[in-house]
């Protein structure tokens, strides 16, 4: 596993607070259970249950992302990107990342992941690449909606979250090739 933490690097550029992000599916630093793994490894590409608290009082909206900085690319791998969650939403049920976003709040924008699909795609590290970390991040924002087109990339969402960010809740799961 590499030591690079993309959110620590961002924190050096723009310090912001942190808040609690938890899941009933796994704990921080632990391996992701099989249901959260990719269908290609015998799982179901099910996004985890997530809940958050302690975010800044002036939060007006949220975004949720899942990023693997250990993917064998120079740019990591985006597994999930959701924008425009209302500030009243403080949890997502398991499998909220299903295709079509039907379990997400009305108005949520699901961006295409690095597989080109508008859904959560589970972990599937390539053989020989070691332990991968999956950063599930809830971004607390100073705006209720981000100005994003439906074909925006997760990286574009990340830029918007940087400039509109008030705080982050981060939960890291791990996986290795089977």
21-77 confidence digits (pLDDT tens)? 999 999 999 999 999 998 876 678 999 999 999 999 999 999 999 999 999 999 999
The answer to whether residue 178 scores a pLDDT higher than 70 is no
pLDDT, position 2? 61
Instruction: Report whether CATH 3.40.50.2300 matches the domain 6-98+107-172.
Output: no
Determine contact, residues 153/76, Cβ cutoff 8 Å. no
pTM metric for this prediction: 0.96
């Amino acid at each position: 596993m590499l030591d690079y933490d993309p959110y620590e690097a961002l924190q050096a550029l723009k310090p912001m607070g942190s808040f609690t992000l938890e899941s009933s599916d796994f704990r921080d630093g632990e391996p992701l259970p099989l249901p959260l793994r990719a269908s290609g490894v015998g799982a179901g590409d099910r996004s985890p249950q997530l809940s958050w608290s302690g975010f800044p009082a002036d939060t007006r909206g949220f975004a949720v992302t899942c990023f693997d900085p250990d993917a064998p690319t120079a740019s990591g791998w985006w597994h999930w990107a959701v924008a425009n969650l209302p500030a009243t939403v403080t949890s997502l049920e398991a499998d909220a990342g299903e295709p079509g976003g039907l379990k997400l709040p009305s108005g949520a924008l699901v961006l295409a992941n690095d597989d080109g699909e508008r859904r959560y795609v589970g972990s599937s590290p390539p053989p020989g690449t070691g332990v991968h970390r999956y950063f599930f991040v809830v971004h607390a924002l100073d705006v209720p909606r981000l100005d994003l087109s439906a074909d925006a990339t997760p990286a574009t969402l990340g830029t918007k979250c940087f400039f509109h960010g008030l705080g982050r809740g981060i939960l890291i799961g791990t996986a290795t090739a089977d």
